[in-house]
Amino acid sequence: MAKKANSSDGLAWREFGDGVKNSAAFERPVEELPPEKQNLRVQATRAGRKGKTVTVITGFQAKPETLQALLKQLKTQCGTGGALKDLEIEIQGEHKQKLLEILTKMGYKVKISGG
């Protein structure tokens, strides 16, 4: 049933709920696997990035906190910037071979994908 929202929250009308956000209900459960059980793909791409090359690492089955720590370590070792988007790590520039070596030493199963 639709009801008039409080003027204090900035909404004029709210159709469902009482406005309390339950972020835990929207989180996806992620099963954290050890590195040796994860199959990762490393790919360099320019699609949708205005011609800038970005190396994308996909296939992670880990929590965002773990990936954030891994991202920081990879950015430091590659000497460049990067980001974490939807359980994928993006490293600026083309670093496929270097990331393959680093992740293999860390115990991950890694393959280079694409050309």
Per-residue model confidence as pLDDT tens digits over 18-67: 666 666 666 666 678 888 899 999 999 998 888 899 999 999 999 999 99
Contact in structure between 63 and 29 (CB atoms under 8 Å): no
Does a structural domain hold residue 2?
Answer: no
Does a structural domain hold residue 22?
Answer: no
**Element housing 109 (H / E):** strand 109-112
Radius of gyration of the chain (CA): 20
Does a structural domain hold residue 64?
Answer: yes
Which range has highest mean pLDDT (11-15, 34-38, 85-89)?
85-89
Does a structural domain hold residue 48?
Answer: yes
Query: Looking at residue 81, which CATH number applies to its domain?
Result: 3.30.780.10
Helix, coil or strand: residue 19: coil
Structural domain harbouring 72: 32-112
Does a structural domain hold residue 6?
Answer: no
**Of the candidates 67, 64, 57, 40, the residue with the CA atom closest to the CA atom of residue 94:** 57
Does a structural domain hold residue 78?
Answer: yes
Angstrom distance (rounded) from CA 112 to CA 115: 8
How many structural domains is the chain composed of? 1
